[in-house]
Structure 1
Amino acid sequence: MTDTVSTGEVLIDLEDVGMSFTGASGERLNVLENVNLQLRDGEIVALLGRSGSGKSTLLRAIAGLLAPTSGQVSYRGEPLTGTNPGAALVFQSFALMPWLTVQDNVELGLAARGVAPAQRRRQALDAIDRIGLDGFETAYPKELSGGMRQRVGFARALVLEPDLLLMDEPFSALDVLTAENLRTELVTLWATADFPTKCVCIVTHNIEEAVQLADRVMVLGANPGRIIAEITVDQPRPRNRRAPGFAALVDQIYGLLTGRDTALVAAHPDSSTPFATPLPDASVGGIAGLLEMVYGSDGRADLPVIADDLNFELDDLMPLVDAAALLGFLLVDSGDVILTNVGANFTNADIQSSKKIFATQARRRAPLVRTICSALIGSADGSVRADFFQDLLERGFSDEDAHRQLELAVDWGRYGELYDYDTDSGRITADPAGLTLEK
Structure 2
Amino acid sequence: MRILEAANLKKAFKGPKGQAHPVLNGVSLVLREGEIVALLGRSGSGKSTLLRILAGLIPPDEGEVRYRGHPVRGPVPGVGMVFQSFALFPWLTVFENVELGLEARGVPKAERRRRVQEAIALIGLEGFETAYPKELSGGMRQRVGFARALVTQPDALFLDEAFSALDVLTAETLRNDLLDLWLEGAMPTKAILLVTHNIEEAVYLADRLLVLGSPGRILTEHPVALPHPRDPESEGFRSLVEAVYEVLTQRPEEEAKAERTLAQKLPSASVSAMLGLLETLDRMGGRADLPELAEELALEVDDLFPLLDALELLDFVRLAAGDVELTEHGRALARAEAGRKREIFAEHLLRHIPLAEHIRRSLDLAPGHRLGEERFLEALTLHLTPEEARQVLDTLIEWGRYAELFAYDDQAGVLYRP
Matched, 1:214 2:201: no
Q: Which letter does structure 1 place at the counterpart of 2:207?
A: D
The aligned runs of 1:374-413 (5 Å cut-off) are 375=362, 384-413=371-400
Equivalent of 1:316, from 303, 309, 318?
303
- The CA distance in 1 between the partners of 2:104 and 2:133, in whole Å, is 20
- The CA distance in 2 between the partners of 1:106 and 1:58, in whole Å, is 26
- The CA distance in 2 between the partners of 1:331 and 1:262, in whole Å, is 16
TM-fit CA distance, 1:204: 0.8
DSSP 3-state at the match of 2:249: helix
- The CA distance in 2 between the partners of 1:33 and 1:52, in whole Å, is 13
TM-fit CA distance, 1:227: 1.7
Does the CA contact (< 8 Å) of 1:107 and 1:156 recur in 2? yes
Q: Which letter does structure 2 place at the counterpart of 1:70?
A: E
| Residue matched to 2:260 | 272
| Residue matched to 1:86 | 78
Matched, 1:291 2:278: yes
The aligned runs of 1:46-57 (5 Å cut-off) are 46-57=38-49
| Residue matched to 2:328 | 341
Matched, 1:98 2:90: yes
- The CA distance in 2 between the partners of 1:345 and 1:263, in whole Å, is 31
DSSP 3-state at the match of 1:260: coil
The aligned runs of 1:23-422 (5 Å cut-off) are 23-24=15-16, 26-222=18-214, 224-260=215-251, 265=256, 272-275=260-263, 277-373=264-360, 375=362, 384-422=371-409
Q: Which letter does structure 2 place at the counterpart of 1:47?
A: L
TM-align CA RMSD: 2.4
In 2 relative to 1, CA 425–179 (structure 1 residues): closer, same or farther, beyond 3 Å?
closer
In the alignment of these two chains, the number of paired residues is 418
In 2 relative to 1, CA 125–383 (structure 1 residues): closer, same or farther, beyond 3 Å?
closer
TM-fit CA distance, 1:78: 1.0
Does the CA contact (< 8 Å) of 1:17 and 1:35 recur in 2? yes
Does the CA contact (< 8 Å) of 1:279 and 1:368 recur in 2? no
In 2 relative to 1, CA 375–11 (structure 1 residues): closer, same or farther, beyond 3 Å?
same
In 2 relative to 1, CA 360–39 (structure 1 residues): closer, same or farther, beyond 3 Å?
same
**Superimposed CA distance per residue, residues 182-205 of structure 1 (whole angstroms, 9 cap, x where no aligned partner):** 111111111123432111001111
In 2 relative to 1, CA 134–260 (structure 1 residues): closer, same or farther, beyond 3 Å?
same
**Superimposed CA distance per residue, residues 355-397 of structure 1 (whole angstroms, 9 cap, x where no aligned partner):** 2221222122223223334545676886654322111101122
- The CA distance in 1 between the partners of 2:283 and 2:176, in whole Å, is 35
- The CA distance in 1 between the partners of 2:31 and 2:262, in whole Å, is 37
Moved more, 177-186 or 334-343: 334-343
TM-fit CA distance, 1:104: 2.2
DSSP 3-state at the match of 2:250: helix
- The CA distance in 1 between the partners of 2:408 and 2:129, in whole Å, is 57
Q: Which letter does structure 2 place at the counterpart of 1:418?
A: L
TM-fit CA distance, 1:241: 0.7
Residue identity over aligned pairs, in percent, reads: 50
- The CA distance in 2 between the partners of 1:63 and 1:200, in whole Å, is 12
DSSP 3-state at the match of 1:83: coil
**TM, length-normalised to structure 1:** 0.88
In 2 relative to 1, CA 425–82 (structure 1 residues): closer, same or farther, beyond 3 Å?
closer
TM-fit CA distance, 1:17: 0.9
- 5+ residue gaps, structure 1, are 1-8, 432-439
Q: Which letter does structure 1 place at the counterpart of 2:246?
A: G
Q: Which letter does structure 2 place at the counterpart of 1:128?
A: I
